[in-house]
Amino acid sequence: MKLSVAIPESALSDESLKIDKTRKISILARACSIFKIDTIYVYQEGDSKQDGSLLVMILKYLETPQFLRRRLFPKMNDLKFAGVLQPLKIPSHITPANSKKIIRGDVREGIVVSIKGKRFVDVGINQLIQFFGKTAIGKRVTVQFKEGYPKLSVKEIDKSEIPFYWGYSVKERANLFSIINEWKGNIIITSRKGKTATKEQVSKYTTSDQPTLVVFGSPEKGVHEILGGKMKNVQNAKTLNFFPNQATQTVRLEEALLGTLAIINWCK
């Protein structure tokens, strides 16, 4: 099952310090990686544009392999507290730096560079590999080795061609309704107003061939409040409560994300 999530850019509004906001993003990224989230949609909600920029930046930074980060992310204030971020250790990050260990079929992330008019790709080993793909110089690219050591030739591939989980992508949207309206597949809206999620209900999504989008509200507003009158125009969506009989007044986004995705994963 291909699973994506939609979270608001105001997700960090319940934290006042940038270091705490950074830690929270790290938890969100870890949760999405643990449960193999395909795409994280960050939608605008309220007046938290500064937090939205921080959220998107650090989510992308964490998903990027460590050896590429300095080249793709210049020094900036949003990454001031990058030292508190927990590593994801997803498959695209756990790759040996020794070129002798590379075999045919291995997949790598790299960056396209130019040397004396020729294009190469740097994939984090001790040598550059000639590159004939379409990706522009200075951009990140996914490649697969056509030949292992010592020949080391590669071809450019799309992430969808990788037969195992490789990492999430991050996309920004102007509002939540635009995401839901454009979504081709199943939609689960998380809300305390919904029916209690059961294994039978959730299994309908986990066994479906269609991709599933799980939608989360903000610290201040639930999904129904965010959508307002547009809620009646939402098609093919089921509202479920994954935290029935909660004792706390609210469930924080990082808690909702981990709890909800764990239940969905258990129902597979």
> Model pTM?
0.95
Are 11 and 84 part of one and the same domain?
yes
- Integer CA distances (angstroms), 131 to 49, 109, 114, 152, 162, in order: 38, 13, 10, 11, 19
More confident residue, 51 or 134: 134
Are 43 and 134 part of one and the same domain?
no
Q: Of 135, 157, 179, which one is at a domain's C-terminal end?
A: 157
Provide the CATH number for the domain around residue 103.
2.40.50.140
Amino acid identity of residue 38, one-letter, is D
Please write the tens of the pLDDT for every residue from 237-256: 999 999 999 999 889 999 99
Please write the tens of the pLDDT for every residue from 97-115: 899 999 999 999 999 999 9
- Give the pLDDT confidence score for residue 194 in this predicted structure: 93
Provide the CATH number for the domain around residue 10.
3.40.1280.10
What span, in angstroms and rounded, lies between the C-alpha atoms of 246 and 198? 16
Are 147 and 76 part of one and the same domain?
no
30: domain range?
Answer: 3-89+169-266
Predicted confidence band of residue 49 (pLDDT cuts 50, 70, 90):
low
- Give the pLDDT confidence score for residue 157 in this predicted structure: 97
Q: 78 pLDDT exceeds 80?
A: yes
* Residue with the two structure tokens 């930046």: 57
Are 76 and 189 part of one and the same domain?
yes
Q: 50 pLDDT exceeds 80?
A: no
Are 30 and 81 part of one and the same domain?
yes
Structural domain tally of the chain? Answer: 2
Residue 111 inside a domain? The answer is yes
Q: 131 pLDDT exceeds 60?
A: yes
Give the ranges where 95-165 is alpha helix by DSSP (H). Answer: none
Are 174 and 249 part of one and the same domain?
yes
